[in-house]
Homo-oligomer: A and B are copies of this chain.
Amino acid sequence: MSDDDLVFKALADPTRRALLDRLFVRDGQTLTELEAELAMTRFGVMKHLRLLEDAGLVVTRRRGREKLHFLNPVPIRLIHDRWIDKYTEGHAAALLDLKAELERDEPEENR
């Protein structure tokens, strides 16, 4: 499985996005601390953190028996660079014009 696939799959789950949000509010939290915030058992939180770590969205550091979790925004930046670069290199402007045109012609007919 490719790296970006891991990142996209990790971001696909709302609980994992909530974990990233929690780490953004207060970075370096332990598993037990994150569990207390999320209405889920420790095991569920642990699985999610594992996927986030595999995707490189979370970096960890051990401190004794604790494991501290830190946000890593780099993969998100890389995704952005991939998609937005593709869509903007000579195409995004035309597409945005097209979208506006579609919405003007057929206001509510596109689902």
Contacts and interface: CB of A to CB of B under 8 A. Distances in A.
Contacts of A84: 73, 76-77, 80
A99 B87 contact: no
Nearest to A16: B8
Interface residues of A, number: 42
B111 A87 contact: no
A34 interface: no
A79 to B, nearest CB: 8
Contacts of A86: 21, 24
A88 B71 CA distance: 12
Interface of A: 2, 5, 8-9, 11-12, 14, 17, 21, 24, 27, 53-54, 59-62, 70-74, 76-77, 79-80, 83-84, 86-88, 91-92, 95-96, 98-99, 102, 106, 109-111
5 contacts: A9-B12, A24-B87, A59-B110, A61-B102, A80-B80
